[in-house]
Amino acid sequence: MNRLIHYGSTDAIPFYNCSWEPESEWWQNGVQRPLLGYPITVFGIFIELLYIPIVWIIFKTKLIRHTCYKTIVLLAATDMCAISCSCIITGILLIQGAVFCAYPTFIYICGGIALCTWCGACAITLSLFLNRIVSIGFRDYAFEKPIAYTTMILSVVYMFYISFFTTPACFNSLIMAWPSDPLSEKEPSEEASNYYRNDSQAWNNWIFVICMLFMFTIYCGLINKLARGQNSKASRAIFIQCCIICFFNSCTAIFYNVLAFITPSPAILVFGQLCWSINHGCPALIYVTLNDTIRREFKKLIFRSSTNKVEEGTSGNRASVSRNSIFEYFVKL
């Protein structure tokens, strides 16, 4: 984003000039993909609408007083911004068959937001996992709040850095993805490739995958130890959720790192786009299906159903963990 501010317009940025070819010619470089675009757009709108009552419920029920839920709200805000790019805007551009030079300034800005929210979601997800590990593994020490607030602040600072000081992603309907190369140059060159390269994104993705797998292993081990075999069904559910989250996050990260070097087959390209979209959408679905408090309040809000209110709290004996408390410890994701 700093390049756009510095040069004043997208066409003035080196290697982003689209004026050498008429706009009508640029549209011929894209491919209209309504079969992919419409479902992604509808999914994105659905998730955006779903997040609104979820965030409202978190504040209404005073869950926000818990450190974990502060992180969840930050992640929800990040995911909502990410969904607008990964689903709604991407879906519309796929339906139109757009390329970068069809809407250079718009796509340049959206690409910066998409990259910023992706890297931010990675950092906040790791922060949430770390929060849960510390909460369970070091529950006798006052580490949880300082670590949570520190990681949240660092995540926000990290998002600003990615947004303003790294190369944005640029949409292309031909490959159904947001690579860093806008494919706007008449004659590709090594100098242009170096200008487009985003090492921060590559490092973010590799570090995220490694840390996610490492923390996933620790977290599942702690959950299993905490359950002590008393609630194997809940432990299996936690394990399945962790696997789902790691799967979509890791596939998206690896996909975009690979995309910087080669263009995969169309099936892989579609798979990568779906992983990116689902990655930001699945937290909302988990909140309304597996979090007892949010699910109960959501049913009351949407279906006007009357349920007996169950006060949420922590058990005096933390060694004995119910299904609800295990899910509350997990609920991100």
Model pLDDT for residues 3-28, shown as the tens digit of each residue = 888 888 888 888 888 888 888 888 88
Q: Which amino acid is at 70?
A: K
- pLDDT at position 111 is 93
8 A C-beta contact, residue 181 and residue 170: yes
Domains along the chain with CATH numbers: 1-13+25-185+194-301 (1.20.1070.10)
Q: Sorting pLDDT into bands at 50, 70 and 90, what band is 98? A: very high
Among 66-70, 95-99, 298-302, top mean pLDDT goes to 95-99
**Secondary structure class of 265 (helix, strand, coil):** coil
Q: What Å distances lie between residue 187 and 16, 25, 69, 227, CA to CA?
A: 12, 16, 50, 61
Q: Sorting pLDDT into bands at 50, 70 and 90, what band is 66? A: confident
Q: What Å distances lie between residue 68 and 63, 84, 129, 328, CA to CA?
A: 9, 25, 10, 9
Among 177-186, 199-208, 227-236, top mean pLDDT goes to 199-208
The torsion defined by the Cα of 129, 132, 136 and 138, in degrees rounded to 10, comes to 80
* Burial 19-57, CB ≥16 within 10 A → b, else e: eeeeeeebbebbeebeebbeebbebbeebbebbebbbeb
Q: Is the pLDDT of residue 328 over 60?
A: no
Q: Which residue has the higher pLDDT, 242 or 281?
A: 281
Model pLDDT for residues 297-323, shown as the tens digit of each residue = 888 888 775 444 444 444 333 333 333
How crowded is residue 261: how many other Cβ atoms within 10 Å of its Cβ?
7
Model pLDDT for residues 134-160, shown as the tens digit of each residue = 777 776 665 667 888 888 899 999 999
Residue 31 CB partners (closer than 8 Å, separation 6+): 97, 173, 174
Q: Which residue has the higher pLDDT, 265 or 226?
A: 265
